[in-house]
Amino acid sequence: MESMEELEQKIGYSFKNEALLRQALTHSSFSNEQKIKKWKNYERIEFLGDAVLELVSSDYFYRTYPDETEGNLTKMRAAAVCEQALAITARELNLGKYLVLGKGEEQNGGRERDSIIADVVEAVIGAIYLDSGMREAKHFIYRFVLNDLDHKRLFFDAKSVLQEYLQEEKAGELTYRSVGEEGPEHEKVFVMEALLNGEVIGAGKGKSKKAAQQSAAYEALMKCKKGNEG
């Protein structure tokens, strides 16, 4: 893993215990194939990172929006730390490049799968927390997760935003349809399309049909935005 230093430069943090970063980047498919105890995977450390992320993001929204209701704060936090939003963070850092995967997961496109790379973001947070405590973990979260929130919120609410936009434009009927499934049974990925008057305007993937619809709606929104700018 010669590229760990490269990743440390990207995130602006150098690990005192590099084994923690190695663990955060190791998928269970690799550790299972190796059958060697020293190859720990990211599952336990991701569990911890998830809790740290929830606390830091909850604190951020509570302090930043003092007049918002609990319900709205919950929605805002969900938009910022949902799988799709964390996958955006992962792609910005190109985390997939540094993953250690088993052969099967490599062949199945694990480096680009939202469910995996989103978990890795949480695992990196957990690793930083274990290595240096809450302050450094919070710094990472503020810099890479709680950034560009308008963009991430748009992704989370893409279906609603797209529906409202098309209604205002009186463009016609918006529907969604399932076009297939990918991946193994335990990590199934659904593929959905967004259609306007029967014509495909966006496609997306997700761990659930709802998530795939959000992804398809987001793609359609980006096309609409690009068309308006043109």
Q: Which amino acid is at 143?
A: R
Instruction: Verify whether residue 50 is a known catalytic residue.
Output: yes
Question: How large is the C-alpha radius of gyration of the chain?
Answer: 19
**What pairing do the DSSP bridges indicate for beta strands 174-182 and 189-196?**
antiparallel
Selected catalytic residue, list 114, 122, 131, 219? 122
Contacts of 126 (CB under 8 A, 6+ apart): 24, 45, 46, 47, 48, 49, 50, 52, 137
Helix, strand or coil, per DSSP, at residue 188: coil
Helix, strand or coil, per DSSP, at residue 44: helix
Tokens of 112: 């680009």
Q: Residue 13: which of 121, 148, 94, 131 has the closest Cα?
A: 131
The two counts, helices (H) then strands (E), for the chain are 12, 3
Report the C-alpha gap between 97 and 43 in whole angstroms. Answer: 19
State the helix-helix crossing angle for 158-169 and 149-156, rounded to 10 degrees: 80
Instruction: Verify whether residue 8 is a known catalytic residue.
Output: no
Q: Which residues are catalytic?
A: 50, 122
